[in-house]
Structure 1
Amino acid sequence: MDSRQLRYFIAVYEQRNLSRAADQVSVAQSALSHHISNLEAEFATRLFERKPRGMEPTAAGERLYEHARIILRAMTEAETEVREGARVIAGNISIGMANSAVKAIGVALMRTVLSQYPKLKLSLTESMSGATLMHLMASNVDLALVYNPPSEKELIAEPVLEEEMFCVGIPKLVGRSKAPIRFEELSRLPLILLRYGLSSRALLDDPVLLKRLEANAILHANSITGMTGALVEGLGCAIATKLFAREELDAGRLVAREVVAPKLIRTLYLCRLRNRPMTYAMEEMSRLMLALIAEQVRSGGWQATLVG
């Protein structure tokens, strides 16, 4: 098996048709079919079912596709690294960020890459923290900024900052007082929780408190925009940071009260996969993101405490 065979396999997988795949990789259809047959012989299993409507991947074909993408991307990065050395940061870099991180440093990161790293192609993926971690574990991104990741042996997680959590909602629900709100009182409010974002489980170790919090949730949202809109409409309140609802808080549409007894803190981590070698681009983007985060925290744009 070589890189050419993997490229041919990926073309057939994505096109689901030998003729179209042959056109894509500029080889004869018969030659492409021969390469696929050789791969199947090497793995001693069928990678595709030949059907009248085209090529349908088998379970083995599905698994090989995921590995093939990772292998070819690693080979491309290795070629760039060896050719360019440390002279220039070049190639492709894919970064995943939780929504709050994008709000704080996303534009600054893109601006810096465009102005200072002209040979680097950045792909920035924004999602809720849990989904961002899944992107990393599936090797869809090279680096990820996520909150409270689980302890996984495949993961290298560097703590970056800690953020205090607040009870956020309209004054009618959470009160106009700036005084802290006790968890006991918070747990009786109509709560909207993020389903795939920062889970309450990442904030609370006490199973009794956790059960009370989740039992009182009136909604589980998978959308930051939808959740913010629901808060402004007074449908419920949320456990969130001030950065999460910064615009609505500044406009007075929402208020935030510190949660105490217990105080709720979340930690942002810079994560990468342990089995993924660091490239020059990954090292440089890690350094850049940490610098941008530190700048935001020190300027007051991100109300958090740097750690690590």
Structure 2
Amino acid sequence: METRRLANFIAIVDCGSLTRAAARMNIAQPALSQQLAGLEASYGKQLVLRSRQGVTVTPAGQALYRNAQSLLRQLKQMESDIKSAGDHISGHVSIGLPVSCAPILAMPILKAVRERYPQILLQISENMSGMLGELILNNRLDIALLYGTHGAEGLLRKPVLVERLCIVSRAEFIRATPGETIAVRQLADVPLVLPSHSNGLRTLVDAAFARHGLTPNLVAEIDSLSSLRGAAGQGLAATILPRSAAGENADGLHVADIVEPSIKRTIVLCKPSAQPASGPVEAVEALIIEVINDLVTSGKWQGVTLK
């Protein structure tokens, strides 16, 4: 099967429209429709459902989409490996970072890759952990840092850090001196802005409060790190974040570790288990571990413990 037809099918799914996919892939729409019909005839399955709003991928189409992505990535990497055999490590490597980790990790990783492997083209995606889990399972990412058990099936997992969560607030809600801790029961009446239930952090917070028979005094749900921090900075409410994302000493914020119980989550480095990692992916993976170790041991990444 021509790789071009697979690439065009991926574009149809990504764009959700034959018209937009045809424009992206620089192909006439009738020709693209004919290619799609040929794929459906080859497999004896309907791959997408067409409507005036665009296309919706079927379960069979999802299976082809995942496998086509994996196949094209492997072919691309094979070509790069052959061309660079005996030369410097080169190729394309995509990594995913959770939104709360990206501020402290993205630039050190980019700098390390540029210095050590200048011929590797690095792609960095910031997103919620759950979305990154879906992307790596769909072969859209080579490596991802995920929280907890996201994407447990079909992934090789290496726990790298345990991250502690903190209360982040202006003095009118919480006044904390450096090194001070706050018990969960002390937060019973503190107004909080937290992520929605789709975020794993919220699940951990709710469970910690439930151990005391409490529920968070919730005033808003916000699925944005900058907005959570902004709400705390403007004194609208307190929030709960990892220390690396808290912005301590900014906007007059006070930050204190939460105890009794402490709220922790494990950060896991993941990659697909379906095929062996390429040389560039293995090189970047080792470099990510090295960067994380340096940030923690140097004290630049606080509120975490190496696994």
TM-score bracket, shorter-length normalisation: 0.7 to 0.9
- Greater radius of gyration (CA): 1
The alpha carbon displacement at 1:230 in A equals 0.4
Given that 1:16 and 1:54 are in contact with CA atoms closer than 8 Å, whether structure 2 keeps it comes out as no
- Decide whether the 8 Å contact of 2:129 with 2:150 is kept in 1: no
Determine if the alignment matches structure 1 residue 68 to structure 2 residue 68.
Answer: yes
**Unpaired stretches in structure 2, ≥5 consecutive residues:** none
Alignment match, 1:192: 193
Shift of 1:99: 2.5
Answer whether contact 2:173 2:238 (CA < 8 A) is retained.
yes
> How far apart, in 2, do the equivalents of 1:187 and 1:301 lie?
31
- Secondary structure of 2:211's counterpart equals helix
For 1:100 and 1:54, the matched residues in 2 are separated by 35
Following superposition, the deviation at residue 67 of structure 1 comes to: 3.4
Q: Shift in Å at residue 211 of structure 1?
A: 7.3
User: SS of 1:188's equivalent?
Assistant: coil
Measured in 2, the distance between the counterparts of 1:33 and 1:219 equals 46
* CA distance in structure 1 between the aligned counterparts of 2:71 and 2:127, rounded to whole angstroms: 25
Residue matched to 1:39: 39
TM-score (norm 1): 0.82
After the TM superposition, which residues 1-308 of structure 1 pair with which residues of structure 2 at under 5 Å, given as runs? 1-10=1-10, 16-17=18-19, 20=22, 24=26, 35-47=35-47, 56=55, 59=58, 60-61=60-61, 64-85=64-85, 87-150=87-150, 152-177=152-177, 179-195=180-196, 196-202=198-204, 208-209=210-211, 212-214=214-216, 216-246=217-247, 249-251=248-250, 253-308=252-307
> What secondary structure, in the 3-state scheme, does the structure 2 residue paired with 1:287 have?
helix
Deviation at 1:16, TM superposition (A): 1.6
Q: In the alignment, residue 235 of structure 2 is paired with which amino acid?
A: G
Give the 3 Å change call, closer, same or farther, for CA 153–21 of structure 1 in structure 2: same
**Cα 1:204–1:137, aligned 2, differ >3 Å: closer, same or farther?**
farther
**Counterparts of 1:297 and 1:133 in 2: how far apart (Å)?**
24
- Is residue 147–residue 265 contact of structure 2 (8 Å, CA) maintained in 1? yes
1:148, 1:266 within 8 Å by CA — same for their partners in 2?
yes
Structure 2: how far apart are the matches of 1:152 and 1:255? 35
Change (3 A) 1:84 1:174: same
Shift of 1:280: 1.0
Distance change >3 Å, CA 2–CA 265, structure 1 → 2: same
Instruction: Give 1:221 deviation, angstroms.
Output: 1.1
Q: Distance in 1 between matches of 2:50 and 2:206?
A: 52
Cα distance 1:267–1:225, how it changes in 2: closer, same or farther (>3 A)?
A: same
Residue 152 of structure 1, CA deviation = 2.0
CA-to-partner distance for each residue in 1:89-148, whole Å, 9 max, x for gaps? 222111110123222221122123233323211110112333333332333221111222
1:269: how far off?
Answer: 1.4
For each residue in 1:141-184, what CA deviation from the matched residue of structure 2 results, as whole angstroms up to 9, or x when unmatched?
21111222347232222111222222111111012455422111
2: CA distance, partners of 1:46 / 1:198: 35
Mapped to 1, the partners of 2:24 and 2:164 lie a distance apart of 55
Contact map agreement 2:166 2:240 (CA 8 A) in 1: yes
Moved more, 199-208 or 182-191: 199-208
| Fraction of identical pairs, as percent | 25
